[in-house]
Amino acid sequence: MSTPKLSSKIWNFFTINAEDESKANCDVCNKRLTRGGRNARSYGTSALINHLRSFHHSEYDEYTRSTESHKRKRDDEEDSKRKHSKQGNLDYFIEKMTPFGQNDPRKHAITKSIGEMIAVDMQPFCLVEDIGFTRLMKVLEPRYKLPSAMHFSRTIIPDMYLSVKAIIQERVDKALYVCFTSDAWTSDNNLHAFLSLTAHWIDSNWERQYAFLQLRLLEVSHTGEMLAAELLSIMEEWKVVGDRRGILVRDNGSNMVKAARVAKLSDLGCYIHTLQLVVGESLKTQKAVRDAIAIARGIVSHFRHSSKATAHLKRIQESLNSNRTDDVLDVTDQVHPAHRLIQDVPTRWNSTYYMLERLLEQKRAIGVYSQEADIKSLTANQWSLVDKVLNTLKPFEEQTKQASLASSHAGMIIPGVRLLERYLQRTKKSWR
According to the model, what pLDDT value does residue 102 have? 82
Separation CA 228–CA 248 (nearest Å): 12
- Average pLDDT of the chain is 88
| Least confident interval from 76-85, 180-189, 219-228, 391-400 | 76-85
Split at pLDDT 50, 70, 90, the class of 119 is very high
Using alpha carbons only, what angle is made at residue 320 by residues 316 and 322, rounded to the nearest 5 degrees? Answer: 115
Q: Is residue 162 within 8 Å of 188, Cβ to Cβ?
A: no
For residue 142, give every residue at least 6 positions away whose Cβ sits within 8 Å of its Cβ, in sequence order, or none.
96, 97
On whether the CB atoms of residues 238 and 172 are closer than 8 A, the answer is yes
The dihedral sign for the CA sequence 35, 41, 42, 45:
positive
395: confidence class by pLDDT, cuts 50, 70, 90: very high
Query: How much is the pLDDT for 321?
Result: 82
- 432 pLDDT band, cuts 50/70/90, is low
CB atoms within 10 A of CB 192: 12
CB 10 within 8 A of CB 52: yes
Q: Where does the pLDDT of residue 72 fall: very low under 50, low under 70, confident under 90, or very high at 90 and above?
A: confident
User: Higher confidence at residue 10 or residue 276?
Assistant: 276
Give the whole-angstrom CA distance, residue 193 versus residue 187: 6
The DSSP output letter for 102 is T
| Range scoring the smallest mean pLDDT among 234-243, 336-345, 414-423 | 336-345
State yes or no: pLDDT of 1 exceeds 50: no
- Calculate what percentage of the chain has a pLDDT beyond 90: 62
pLDDT value at 236 more than 50 = yes
* pLDDT at position 2 over 60: no
Strand 245-250 to 193-202 pairing: unpaired
Q: pTM for the full model?
A: 0.69
Confidence bin at 99 (pLDDT 50/70/90): confident
Domain spans, the chain: 1-91, 105-165, 178-269, 276-431
Give the full edge-to-edge strand order of the sheet including 245-250. Answer: 208-218, 193-202, 178-186, 245-250, 267-269
Tell me how crowded residue 371 is: count the other CB atoms within 10 A of its CB. 9
CATH 3.30.420.10 fits domain 178-269: yes
Q: What is the pLDDT of residues 201-231, one digit of tens each?
A: 999 999 999 999 999 998 877 899 999 999 9
Which residues fall within 8 angstroms of residue 198, CB to CB, at 6 or more apart? 180, 181, 182, 210, 211, 212, 213
Calculate mean pLDDT across residues 76-91. Answer: 65
Q: Determine the pLDDT at residue 87.
A: 56
Distance CA 219, CA 181 (A): 21
Segment 387-401 mean pLDDT: 95
Residue 248 has pLDDT above 70, yes or no: yes
| Mean predicted confidence (pLDDT) in 44-67 | 86
In three-state secondary structure terms, 6 is coil
Q: For the segment 286-329, what is each residue's pLDDT rounded down to a tens digit? A: 999 999 999 999 999 999 999 999 999 999 988 888 766 544 44
159 vs 149, 155, 202, CA distance in Å?
Answer: 15, 6, 28
